Amino acid sequence: MSLTVIFAGVAAILLVSWLYSVYVSVIKAKNKVEEAMASVDVQLKKRYDLMPNVLFLANKFMEHERSLIEDITKLRTSALKLEGGVSSAQDKINISNEIQKKMGELFVSVENYPQLKSDNTMVQAMKSYSDVEEHIAAARRFYNAAVRDLKNVVQIWPSSSFASTLGIKADMPYFEVENEAERAPINAQNYFN
């Protein structure tokens, strides 16, 4: 076997290995986004499971916030109807932001109801809610990092060629909160000083 054939063979193996590693990185990036979205779904589910407790107590005490409570209930119902996974990402983000905003308003209103504010069950529910919100914020950051990685893979050559061949797109949106005040997770303790 001549030296040229050996050299060509080694070069071919190296090329195939490199192409395979690029392929793997594209698939990994795509799967990472799906994994991250699943994590967001898990955390959002936790939030939606906790909301009835808070809303039930709020409904009992808060007479002037009935419409707000109704809005939150409707939003929760529509959120639960959404499919899991990346396909409904934009809708999830919109509804999640809306729920976060409304729940923030609700917690501010709790200030006006001293009896509710000092209710042990409410305090516990709000603490748990605050904890879940922090987990949601963490899951969002994971999702955003995964989307950013996928966007890089899809837009930068040579992985971009693989991505277009495999039909992988990075059109999923980032999980962004609408304004600066909403960026911080709700901390129940702020309302119980």
Partner 1 sequence: MALRRSEELAAIDRDFRQTYHSVLLPQLKRMEFVRIILFFIFLVWSLGTLAYAGLVLWACLNSPDTTFLHYLTVAVIVCSIFVAYRFLEFVLNLILKKKMLNSILLPFKTFKANKIFDIPSTQLRESKIVEKHVFKINPERIDGVYKGVEIKFNTALLFDIERRYSGGKSRTKISNVFSGYIVEMDMNKQFSGHTILESCLYHTDESFFDRFKDDYYEMEEVELEDPDFKKHFTTIKTTDQVEARYLLNPAVMEKLKELDMSLGRLLMLSDLRLSFLDKKILIVMKVRNVNNLLRLCVLNKPLSKQDKEICAFKDTLLEILEIVDELDLDEKIVV
Query: What does the alpha-carbon distance between residue 167 and residue 140 come to, in Å, rounded to a whole number?
Result: 25
Interface positions, 40-79, toward partner 1 (CB under 8 A):
43
> Cβ of residue 31: shortest distance to partner 1, in angstroms?
12
Across 16-148, the runs of DSSP E, i.e. the strands, are: none
Options 68, 127, 173, 182; binder of partner 1; rule CB under 8 A: 127
Task: Name the residue nearer to partner 1 (CB basis): 107 or 142.
Answer: 142
112 φ, ψ (degrees, to nearest 5): -80, -5
Residue at token pair 């419409």 = 67
Options 60, 81, 141, 169; binder of partner 1; rule CB under 8 A: 141
Per the CB < 8 A criterion, the answer to whether 41 and 87 are in contact is no
Task: Name the residue nearer to partner 1 (CB basis): 109 or 152.
Answer: 152
Tell me, residue by residue from 13 to 32, as one string, x for binding to partner 1 by CB under 8 A and - for no binding: --------------------
Q: What is the DSSP letter of 185?
A: P
Name the CA dihedral angle for 187, 189, 192, 193, rounded to a multiple of 10 degrees: -120
**Site residues (vs partner 1, CB under 8 A):** 35-36, 39, 43, 127, 131, 134-135, 137-139, 141-142, 145, 149, 189
